[in-house]
Copies of this chain bind each other. A is one copy, B any other.
Amino acid sequence: MIWGGIEAGGTKFVCAVAAEDGHILDRTQFPTEAPAPTVAKAVDFFRSASRDLAGIGIASFGPVDLAGGRITSTPKPGWRNFGIAGAIHDKLGVKVAFDTDVNSAALGEGKWGAGRGLDTFLYLTVGTGIGGGAVVGGRLVHGLHHPEMGHIRVPHDGSFAGVCPYHGDCLEGLACGKAMEERCGCRAEDLPGDHPVWQEEARLLSYGLVNWIATLSPQLIIMGGGVMKHGGLFPALRTRVAALLNGYVPIPEIVPPALGDDAGVLGAVALCL
């Protein structure tokens, strides 16, 4: 059987078809434009990639209405209340599964990546935004809605107002790629490794990690996303988290996704398996 996955991100869409073992057979990616042309490109890819698609998983930026298959209160123009799951189902006529990008990535890492064999772990992404998905007791966390972990509040010195249109200085507002760009006037990937903003980034993210460790007690924390490609962040975070927790509780390992840049789209595939 061949399965499809769409990593529907705020910046880009990644589409892939994969075998049941997570082996990617074909993939494409393109920038996220307005909903109609973006969905049309995804549909074209799946039509040409396989005639025997058993289902498609959509790993979407959020917040989403899981039952309705819709993106809800996004600040992204045109996407608010767009029913992406229905749009894909209508065009391709296959079973569609739908969850947040980060919940999906957690599921994918649990199935084929760093989270194999664990029942309680986190997948975090620090990129354009900050988000987290969690597997707890072997299952994705849903609850009333779904986690929106990037929007926690952490200590900061008030010198930067933050970029989150809903909260200003939530963790995402202070520490996402867009926030780094606004602080420094250039993209995070273009910043020198010894720029002081990396220290501030590690400081802010370490508060987030401590809060998630205290709340969920994960066996492992997997951190992906563009900002995490800065090599110095992982050791800086491990050191700061240990200092902040101060021996009170055990500390999980903090590692990059084993699926690398495929964590998102393979997570989408995992949703429909």
Contacts and interface: CB of A to CB of B under 8 A. Distances in A.
Interface of A: 63, 73, 119-121, 132, 134, 136-137, 139, 141-156, 166-167, 169, 207, 210-212, 214-219, 244-250, 252
B141 A63 contact: no
Contacts of A207: 153
- Main secondary structure, interface of A, reads loop
Given A120-B142, A136-B137, A166 B248 contact: yes
Contacts of A210: 151-153
Contacts of A211: 152-153, 211, 215
Contacts of A166: 245-248
Nearest to A120: B143
A248 B248 CA distance: 33
Given A120-B142, A215-B216, 20 more contacts: A63-B249, A119-B143, A136-B136, A136-B141, A137-B142, A143-B216, A144-B250, A145-B250, A147-B214, A150-B214, A152-B214, A152-B215, A154-B154, A155-B169, A166-B248, A167-B246, A167-B248, A211-B211, A211-B215, A212-B215
6 contacts: A120-B144, A137-B139, A143-B217, A151-B214, A152-B210, A153-B211
A144 B219 contact: yes
A155 B152 CA distance: 10
Nearest to A150: B214
Given A63-B249, A166-B246, A144 B217 contact: yes
